[in-house]
Structure formats: structure tokens, C-alpha cells
Amino acid sequence: MKKASFPTPEDAEGAFYEAIERGDIEAMMEVWSDDEEIVCVHPGGPRLSGVEQVRESWEQMLKSGQQFKVQLTEQVVVQGMMFSVHSLQENFLVQGETRPRAAVLATNVYQRGAAGWRMVLHHASPAQQVTGARVDSPDKSLLH
């Protein structure tokens, strides 16, 4: 049974990134829905579904001992009564390193339930490198 209540999707998102920064798996899983239909895709990784797979993936990441500071930029939010979709750029700085890691593009989806807002999807991928004032041309053979 979840103890934390997130009255807004922004509250849930704040708790999600705070859990990453603290390396706190219990706080991380408080943000996620208990439904087995939850989905998580880490940059370059496979599609993970269900509470067990999602938890295991975050445990692996958070137990590395690295301390992260995450700055969120380029946020776009589309919100309805029951769902909120957040598209953003995650900028990670690892403690002890002087330069930020490569940026990550993320989509976070939150669902409103009886106990407030919970994450149901986190999909992250490496941000495309920008050369000069234009984005590199996409591969025309890709379907999307």
C-alpha cells in the first residue's frame, strides 16, 4: 500500500527526480503505480513492464553509488483530468565530474487515482546531438 500522496502530477515528478538524486529506491517506487501495466525504458535499454521489472532496473541504477543531480529543461506538459504527459530533457551531473553527461529526452506519464497521481510510464532516450543551428537529418528508412 502506497503511503505518499501526490496531489498533482508535478508533485509526483518532483518526488521521482528527488528519489534519483538521493538514490532512494523506496521513494522511487512510491511514485510508480502498483499496476502491472507500468512501463519503463531506459536510454538504449529494453522495454520493461510490471512492478518487479521496473523496480529491479531502478535498483541496479541507484545502487551504483553515484550521486546524480538532475536539471530538467525544455518541459512540455499536456494534462487532462486523469492523465498528464510530460516531455522534457534530463541533464545529469554526476558528483565528482566537472561536465554534465549527455542529455536524455524523457516522456513521463502520470495517472490520477484515488491516492493521487502516480507514474505509469517513463521512457528515456539519448538526445540527438545538434550541429550548428540545425538538427542532424533523420534516417529516412525509420518508420517514426
User: Who's near 37: CB < 8 A, 6+ residues apart?
Assistant: 49, 50, 120
Residue numbers of the domain that contains 116: 9-127
CATH code for position 67: 3.10.450.50
Q: Does residue 136 lie in a domain region?
A: no
Question: What amino acid is encoded at 34 in this protein?
Answer: D
The answer as to whether 118 is a domain residue is: yes
State mean pLDDT over 136-141: 49
Q: How far is CA 126 from CA 9, 53, 98, 119, in A?
A: 24, 21, 20, 21
In a domain, 48, yes or no: yes
Residue 27 lies in a domain: yes
pLDDT attached to residue 112: 97
Residue 43 within a domain: yes
Per-residue pLDDT tens over the stretch 59-96: 998 988 778 889 999 999 999 999 999 999 999 888 77
User: What is the overall mean pLDDT for the chain?
Assistant: 88
Position 2 scores a pLDDT of 63
| pLDDT tens string 106-131 | 999 999 999 899 999 999 999 886 55
pLDDT of 141 over the 70 cut: no
Q: How many domains does the chain have?
A: 1
- Of 92, 93, 118, nearest in space to 105 by CA: 92
> What is the per-residue pLDDT for 48?
98
Residue 1 lies in a domain: no
59 domain residue, yes or no: yes
Given pLDDT bands bounded at 50, 70 and 90, which one contains residue 144? very low
Contact 113, 12 (CB under 8 A): no
Q: Examine residue 114 and state whether it is found in any structural domain, yes or no.
A: yes
